[in-house]
Amino acid sequence: MIDKTIAGLKVGDRQPVRVMGVINLSKESFYSGSVVHADSVLDAALKMINEGADLIDVGARSTWPLAQKISKDEERSRLIPAIRQLRDISVPVSVDTMFSDIAGEAMEAGADIINDVSGFTADERMADVVKEHGCPVILMASNNVPGDPVGMDAVMSSLERIISLAQERGIDPGKIIIDPAIGKWTKDKLPVYDYETIDTLGRLRIFGKPILAAISRKSFIGETLGKPAGERLYGSLAATAIAVRNGAHIIRTHDVAPTVDVVRVAQRARARIPVVGSGEVEAELLGIKVEEDSARAMRSIGVTPQGCQVMKKKTVLYNILLKNVTTTEALIIKQEMLARGGDAALPREAVSHEAENVDLIITGTSLQIERLIRKIKNQVRGLPEVASLLSDLIKKNNDAFYRYS
């Protein structure tokens, strides 16, 4: 169960999904309509709070790859006065910067949270600033440059490394928020990868950290709709609803009022994670659908690397409908699955040989299915073709381009 207190704000599975309003001080931004004038920072923040924002995120440097670059001095001159204006507002304030000295100044000026989209890759001293101030930190999936992991598997690996590094540097694990880097951060980040991330956002639960989704008006929406940033609100709201449904705890947005409405409805359609407890003993269902996520969960409780590798293929269950195979082939498949600890459900007509062809449902772990494929690919009749079909089915299940193009 994910349940944290971040800068005095409760965030997690038992709480409302939180909405983070964006104060954008960067005139180089991809979305000019979001830029706030320096004299209007407080008014903009109060308006967002009135509309339902639970947090305010302030940034002064555009991370849009095509944006004109600015100096650290320019970022500082925009950012620090804005943070000072927000010192006394009623919600936590997050400072969006990749540089440790600017982050430190922002904390002194009144910021509560550091939002580092580089995940400690741009400035290794950032971890020291976070530790020194004991503040919450938002860490985005990054390897060499912000947002460069391509595909959800790469996002998972990046965040696992970043979380481990943060904890090694003495940062409180309970104060880490994770961001899967939705958006075209690099030229290799095609829209298909953002759709994969939004659809499989629940995979991030394995880290036990609050999940932040920054979706607002991003390029994958524009490429889908063929519209500029100023016309992407409805697309953003649709993607936001899906992200909330799939497990986001915080939504970062330029458009607070409509986003709050979408978040509240979408959260009602999100089932609670089953958790029970008695005394100090607790049980929680893990909705693991990817083998490597099983290994990550095992590593988190101290299972050896060897044990993780042995066990992970036994943790993901497949139920496969196989249509129109001969009765003889169906019976062979059932026997082979039983021999491997799995099973297959057959109609009565297959057992009595009253039908020439039947459908069946194969049930087994990925390891059992893998062993079945190896066993039948060299057998008689149409079993090699069945093996090939099953192999192709598993590959497509793991292929983001097949699933989201």
Distance CA(386)–CA(325), nearest Å, equals 8
CA 329 to chain centre: 41
Both ends of the chain: CA-CA distance in Å? 33
DSSP string, 347-386: -HHHHTT--SEEEEEEEEEHHHHHHHHHHHTTSSTTHHHH
| Dihedral angle sign, alpha carbons of residues 180, 181, 182, 187 | negative
H-type helices in 170-314, by residue range?
191-199, 219-225, 233-245, 256-268, 291-300, 305-312
Q: 171 with 130: CB under 8 angstroms?
A: yes
Distance CA(138)–CA(102), nearest Å, equals 16
Residue 252 annotated among the catalytic residues of the structure: yes
Phi and psi torsions of 351, nearest 5°: -65, -40
Helix (H, G, I), strand (E, B) or coil at 243: helix
Which of 78, 175, 189, 252 does the annotation list as catalytic?
A: 252
| Dihedral angle sign, alpha carbons of residues 298, 299, 300, 303 | positive
Please list, in sequence order, all residues whose beta carbon lies within 8 angstroms of the beta carbon of residue 102, skipping any fewer than 6 positions away.
72, 75, 76, 79, 80, 95
Q: What does the buried/exposed string (b/e) look like for 252-276 if buried means 16 or more CB atoms within 10 Å of the residue's CB? A: bbbbbeebbebbeebbeeeeebeee
Q: How many residues does the chain have?
A: 405
Which of 4, 184, 203, 218 does the annotation list as catalytic?
A: 218
Angle between helices 191-199 and 233-245 (to 10 degrees): 40
Residue at token pair 């095509």:
66
List, by residue number, the catalytic residues: 218, 252
